[in-house]
Structure 1
Amino acid sequence: MSSNPSYRLTPVTQLANKSIFDSLSTTQKLYAHHMSLAAWYGARIVLRQNSAEALGIFEFIMKLHNASGGKWRELVKQGVTSEDVDAFLEYSGQFLSSLGNYFEIGNKKAVPALSMSALRKMAQISPDVTEALDSIIGPMFSIPPEGLGYPSERLSSNYYLGEPRITKEEISSVAKIMERNMLEPENTRIHKSIRRRKTVFEILQASADQVEHIKELDSGDPSWSVVLSRGDHALELAQVCSQLEISIKYAENKKQREVISYYIRSFRSGSLEAYRKSQKAWVTDIAPMVETNFGFVEPYKDPAGVRGEWQGIVSISNKEESAKMQALVEKADKLIRTLPWVTEDENDGNGPFEATRCSYPDFSVVYSLAYVSSTHWEAQNLPNASSKNTLWVNRMSANKDPDRPCSYVHPDERKTFRSCNHIVRFIVTALHELLGHGTGKLLSETSQGEYNFNRENPPINPLTGRPIETWYGVGQTWTSVFGEIAPSADECRAMLVSYYLVENIEILSVFGYHDTSEPKAGDVVYYAYLHIGVEGLLAMAAFNTDTKVWGSPHAQANFAILKHVLEDGNKFMVVDHNSATGNIYIRVDRHRIVSDGKSALGPMLMRLHIYRCTADVAACKEWYESLSAVDGIYEKWRNMVVENPEPKWKFIQGNTFLGDKGEVELKIYDSSNEGIIKSFAERNLVNLLQL
């Protein structure tokens, strides 16, 4: 076995959904089947976005599986050990589950835990497999690059391509030109090249239609130019659109057909205006039995925080659980008025930093059927306005696993923490999506000379006591203004909303917890605050102490909250650590949660919210980056966390197939690395040209 000390066998979690799939009607199953195919045809886009070598690694794994007939144990006949086979299966299972090779904590690069020579011996099973390995074995094993980030000697990003290496400053300059030309970045990548002694930045827009250099954007500098081309991910998007066109025949209603039509228009042409129309129609399709969402959505893998990773999601609604969530939605107005920035003197009692709402978004509890993304989130709030909230119950149920470690809770409390933590995660996730991402008003100049606030008598900034001095300009968005800190800062704000509200008795009663329930409402609150500490400690593994870069926006947010609470919470939460034993535990004084815990969260939440609403990026960046710096004692704690890593999540998903008589069947695979590989092999994603 080689070399990689991080190798360990991690469990495979089945995303159970068969019983609810079987409850669908024939037409609903056909709709779900073709939408699932559309989602999976986008998997190659995620791989391409992850790294330059990821598609090649994927094809090598598939070819090795096919050449061996899926009989992995027989590869020992190629002159390798059983341990070598296990190591490569573990790598492959995690790679496929993550759709890329940057899947270590904090988006760090993972390398197979066996020697290159052992892998070459496996590949000798056929010339085709050997050729596939030869094309990627170098970048597959090489470190650096060691993680995702702005391209450098140590970090890599496949959103920013070409030679010579593009710089952070150049990325920023191209972004400003795109903003001036009203060209949005979500479905683009940038390629840098030198042509006739001139630097050319080519904006690669995702679309099935391929048109090179359709427009040149004025750079204002004769030494370099910016051009727009369409056709990035063209082959995959053409296949996505072909399945979307079939699925229209089985759509449940006119709204779904409208959504799909806009998807097709957007994915064929690259138009984000068409995509926005799809989302506006999508949010009006209330509580469908088969829920879907597609597009270039989450910006977490882009170091600049603006380019979206492809996701294709098909889910099946749990009507009973969704009905319970509506009770929370109905309380939203009342709950928002308990948040720190809300004042009763204007805007129907919401104050200047909160939107006026006539209705609240749909909140669905669903089972994922096809979830194509590098990360299977527990819940999402999409899009940024007029949104839907979705919570995936089969992903959330994975938190009940009694065998997962619980390293940062004292042994005396581990059993009860484990029994309650999945409840805590469910409640705070629901609050996070509905009232975290669903609150706030961005004060803006909506068009030339028009504002969504009183420009002559601006709102008073509660942080300074003076009228606000900053706001969003025409065409500016939260992500375009706040850039690389936008994803983490917004996740942090949403997390803080959920933690700030978690002790609310009305909220807990919606979920069935009170003084006589099991667990009691007070226990849920206590373990929610213990959860804050545990998540904050776990997060530190995602911080690179050499580059000072966070590999995960969520981890940065979790750590910032922990650090703030420890430093401003009057010691209601403390960290017990013993360097000799390697033990590190969170302790919470349950009697001071409201007096000191919630009181510490409120000011942090207020700051982030006001910075976001007023586009005050300079103040936010200085404060937030300082708060999320892993220094002093925190660096010592980080080393203790890194030495005892949590197992990574690996999920296996089923596939739908059409039977001989046109019926749809759902196939479930073994919960193993071999099962994950087989599930991908049977999706036939390698040779799209042959489909």
Structure 2
Amino acid sequence: MKNYLLIGTIAFMGTALLTSCGQAGKKAAPEAEFTYEVDRFEDISVLKYRLPAFEQLSIAEKEFIYYLSEAALCGRDILWDQNFKYNMLIRKTIEAIIDTYGGDRESDEYRAFITYAKRIFFANGIHHHYSNDKFVPGFSADYLAQLIGGSDAARLPLAEGQSVEELAGFLSPILFDPVLYAKKVDQSEGTDMITASANNFYEGVSQAEVEEYYSSLADRAEPRPVSWGLNTKVLKVDGKVTEIQWKSGGMYGSAIDRIVSWLEKARDVALSETQKKELDLLIDYYRTADLGTWDDYNVLWAGNTGLSVDYINGFIETYGDPMGMKATWEAVVQYKDTEASKRTVLITENAQWFEDHSPVDPQYRKEKVTGVAASVINVAMLGGDCYPASPLGINLPNSNWIRTEAGSKSVTLANITDAKDIVARGSGFLEEFAYDQTEIDRAVQWGSLSDALHTDMHECIGHASGKLAPGTDPNALKNYASPLEEMRADLFALYFMMDPKMTEVGLMPSDEPAKAQYDNYIRNGFLTQIVRIQPGRDIEQAHMRCRSAIAHWVYEKGKSDNVIEVVTRDDKTFVRINDYQELRGLFGEMLKEVQRIKSEGDFAAGKDMIENYGVKIDSDLHTEMLSRYARLNLAPYSGFVNPVMTPVTDSDGKITDVKIEYCSDYLGQMMEYGKNYSFLQAW
């Protein structure tokens, strides 16, 4: 489970770029000179992230990180194909055009094409990474044909016997027809979510057929169920619903084999025997696709804590599947920030206290909170569904029974958060949307701490809290499972941030950081996050539905007592919290109900909560927010280019160091990855 930035408040930084991907070995710039933003287009800001104190790591740690990082880059094609079955064809066509097109590269149409290409690279496909809507090209279908016709045919991904003109004709409706493949994930009420969604998890089957198929496999009496459907594509063979496994020798096998080859190198230099054993299990899982092996790996991985270097690698998160079953491929390589982790240690040391004092029904609390491990880490490499758009926090494994019996790991991504915070300074966002100067001053003084604490609490103890009632199907909430789970973790964090325990154990000096978080959360969920949505659209993304549902539910339930007030001033809408303690009580009430819904698998109640509070947007308010936000000239989304790692070897080929170069060429990195880390075919 991931926690994403509430809203990108990225201000454009016009200073000169200091490094490029081609300047390997250059000394990193001092903090005061480091330029974080490397590109800006449409609604996207692309940043760099630093690797603090990387040079202080041991050679063994650096070598381990290097091999894991190469594995993290080798699965990129998998995500592209999972997102949409023609994404690889489209990407390879775009890459060929950028490399070989012989026509005018200074025209407005070519510039529009490059912007379109950048958007596709950022989203890992032709659908927006957050809204799931298909991108609208800023050029014509005729111009696409001109681009393809003016490029080197030998570089184009032509099918056997296909002409250049036929390739252009095939791609034209896919890219330009607004109805065809319109949404990557469509969870609109009343639709067949399988046939309406353009992702590549299902083909030729309906939602009813998929539900019936997996219902026949699941055993509700099994106390340790595997994650059915996690690593397969569902389709029909001879009229029968079946699955194709993602594994070595199976679907995505050529990319998985490359991942495995680097994981084997990492295993051989792993920093502990337990880490070697878990990597052996992960490699075996990639070769067999056995879900029992995946569970064995996660049990061992979750219990292996206190590491200086760790990683995430596999088919993990299910946000991209409207049914919440199929997992996209992702990878993160990380090393521990020991000083900052003291904060998360305090939280996890008190995890049982938080669970015991939770406002949820006692029968749905955990009697014993097991193996909650949390760290603040620095990212060394992002891959798959964590790149370029990165989460701020991650809590894994996702399996309920493993979390109960073996525990979980939570990480807060410090250098990712720092990069976003630094770029956001002085953006004018708070001055435009905060209610008054008191709110602004509180956010400036306590915003960084309050955001870090909320992420830590969300990941460390929010996701780790609570339990299912005996016999509850883990998949009972279906397409509403993800937003409800994010609500549960957010509410847990929000409720306890205002608790005196936070100051008692030294996590906060007073309740002011909690107030700053309450201000920020309600403002974002009620007002500012909707600037990410196109006019006339509903909220689709799980984290956004979560925040909207929480903000609107507590507003409605506290309306009679004026707990939260909607204020109009100078024709602008603001929200003001009048009673922070009453708001905390409302967060507790909502947490109790959301936990009940999850524990009992109450699909109807979960659906009502999301559909009634988390989906719809007031059109007049939406128009106002979009207008006010546009005047700030900010990008609501941000992501990252990765650093470049270069191993230094001795005469025997043994790695003696790993040098870091910070890339400042977003498009260049995308093209380089297409050349060096692409292992799947276009057709």
Report the TM range for the smaller structure's normalisation.
Answer: 0.7 to 0.9
Equivalent position amino acid for 1:31 in 2 = F
Counterpart in 2 of 1:79? 104
Residue 362 (1) aligns with residue 369 (2): no
Matched residue, 1:208 = 248
Task: Give the alignment partner of residue 263 of structure 1, picking from 252, 272, 282.
Answer: 282
Which secondary structure does the structure 2 equivalent of 1:267 belong to? helix
Q: Displacement of 1:326 after TM fit?
A: 0.7
1:654-680 superposed Cα distances (whole Å, 9 cap, x missing partner): 132334534353443443533543552
> For 2:666, which of 654, 673, 691 is the aligned residue?
673
- Whole-Å separation in 2 of the counterparts to 1:510 and 1:127: 66
Q: How does 1:12-411 map to 2 (within 5 A)?
A: 12-17=46-51, 19-67=52-100, 78-81=103-106, 83-103=108-128, 105-123=130-148, 124-129=150-155, 134=168, 136-144=171-179, 145-150=181-186, 155-163=196-204, 166-179=205-218, 184-192=228-236, 195=238, 199-209=239-249, 231-341=250-360, 351-357=362-368, 359-375=370-386, 376-384=390-398, 385=403, 386-397=407-418, 398-400=420-422, 401-402=424-425, 404=427, 405-406=429-430, 407-410=432-435
Shift of 1:609: 0.8
Q: Does residue 1:653 correspond to 2:642, yes or no?
A: yes
Change (3 A) 1:513 1:602: closer
Give the letter aligned to residue 310 of structure 1. Answer: W
1:427 is matched with: 453
Cα distance between partner residues in 2 of 1:143 and 1:402 = 38
3-state SS of 1:257 partner? helix
Partner of 1:443: 469
Counterpart AA for 2:210:
I
SS at match of 1:481: coil
Question: 1:529 — aligned with what?
Answer: 518
Contact 2:201–2:321 (8 Å) recurs in 1 = no
Amino acid at match of 1:493: R
CA shift, 1:300, in A, is 0.7
Tell me the TM-score normalized by structure 2.
Answer: 0.79
Q: 1:668 to 1:416 in 2, by over 3 A?
A: farther
- Per-residue deviation at 1:403? 5.1
Supply the distance in 1 between the matched residues of 2:410 and 2:321 (Cα, whole angstroms): 24
Preserved CA contact (<8 Å) 1:305 1:486: yes
Does the Cα contact within 8 Å between 1:432 and 1:495 map onto a contact in 2? yes
The C-alpha deviation readout for 1:129-158, integer Å capped at 9, x for no partner, is 555673645423432233223577994232
Paired residue type of 1:685: Y
| Number of matched pairs | 594
Structure 2: tracts of 5 or more residues without a match? 1-39, 159-166, 187-191
User: CA offsets, 1:508-567, max 9 Å, x none?
Assistant: 5656532xxxxxx3432222111122321344467789786x421111110000111211
* Cα distance in 2, alignment partners of residues 288 and 506 from structure 1: 28
- 1:83–1:155 distance in 2 versus 1, CA, 3 Å: farther
Structure 1 residue aligned with 2:592: 606
- Return 5+ residue gaps in structure 1 as ranges: 1-5, 68-74, 210-230, 343-350, 446-471, 515-520
Identify if the C-alpha distance between structure 1 residues 638 and 169 changes in structure 2 by more than 3 Å, giving closer, same or farther: farther
Single out whichever of 613-622 and 42-51 deviates more from structure 2.
613-622
Contact preservation (8 Å) 1:542, 1:555? no
**Gap change, CA 1:10 and 1:491, over 3 Å in 2:** closer
Task: For residues 349-389 of structure 1, give each alpha carbon's deviation from its aligned partner in whole angstroms, at most 9, with x where no partner exists.
Answer: xx322112265422111111122233421111111411011
| Structure 1 position 272, deviation (Å) | 1.1
Residues 16 and 414 from structure 1, CA distance in 2 versus in 1: closer, same or farther, beyond 3 angstroms?
same
Counterpart residue number, 1:227: none
Secondary structure at the counterpart of residue 333 of structure 1: helix
Cα 1:529–1:58 change in 2 (3 A) is: same
Contact kept in structure 1, 2:90 and 2:171, CA below 8 Å:
yes
Instruction: Tell me which amino acid in the other structure corresponds to 2:183.
Output: G
Q: Give secondary structure in 2 for the equivalent of 1:528.
A: helix
Q: Is the 8 A contact 1:324 1:510 kept in 2?
A: no
**Is residue 2:606 matched to residue 1:620?**
yes
Shift of 1:252: 0.5
Q: How far apart in 2 are the matches of 1:403 and 1:14?
A: 19
- Between 1 and 2, higher relative CO (CA 8 Å, sep ≥ 6) is seen in 2
CA contact (8 A) 1:20 1:316 kept: no
1:497 aligns with 2:492: yes
Residue 56 of structure 2 aligns with an amino acid whose one-letter code is S
How far residue 7 of structure 1 moved from its aligned partner, in angstroms, is 6.5
Aligned to 2:45: 11
Q: How much has 1:586 moved relative to structure 2?
A: 2.5
Instruction: Name the CA distance, whole Å, in 1 between partners of 2:466 and 2:194.
Output: 39
State the one-letter code of the partner of 1:677: M
Deviation at 1:605, TM superposition (A): 0.9
**Secondary structure class of the residue paired with 1:650:** strand
Alignment of 1:522-601 (within 5 A): 522-536=511-525, 537-540=527-530, 550-569=539-558, 570-577=561-568, 583-589=572-578, 592-594=579-581, 596-601=582-587
Percent identity reads 19
CA distance in 2, matches of 1:481, 1:9: 36
Distance change (3 Å), C-alpha of 1:271 and 1:377: same
Deviations 1:4-35 (A, max 9, x none): xx963643211211x43222222222211111
Distance change (3 Å), C-alpha of 1:46 and 1:688: closer
Question: What is the distance in 2 between the residues matched to 1:9 and 1:566?
Answer: 29
Question: What secondary structure does 2:340 align onto?
Answer: helix
Q: Please state how far the C-alpha of 1:267 moved relative to its aligned partner.
A: 0.8
Q: Evaluate the alpha carbon distance shift between residue 359 and residue 301 of structure 1 in structure 2; reply closer, same or farther with a 3 A threshold.
A: closer
SS at match of 1:146: coil
Contact 2:540 2:615 in 1 (8 A): no
* Whole-Å separation in 1 of the counterparts to 2:312 and 2:256: 15
SS of equivalent residue, structure 2 residue 364: coil
**Separation of aligned partners in 2, 1:531 and 1:388:** 26
**Aligned letter for 1:148?**
K
- SS state at 2:477 partner: helix
Q: Bigger shift: 401-410 or 536-545?
A: 536-545
Which of 616, 620, 624 pairs up with 1:636? 620
Paired letter, 1:252: L
Q: After superposition, what is the alpha-carbon deviation per residue over 1:91-139, rounded to whole angstroms, capped at 9, x for unaligned?
A: 4344333323322542222234344444555552422455567364542
What residue number does 1:220 align with?
Answer: none
Pairwise CA RMSD: 3.1
Distance 2:597 2:638 in 1: 34
Cα contact 2:60–2:269 (8 A) shared by 1: yes
SS in 2 for 1:283: helix
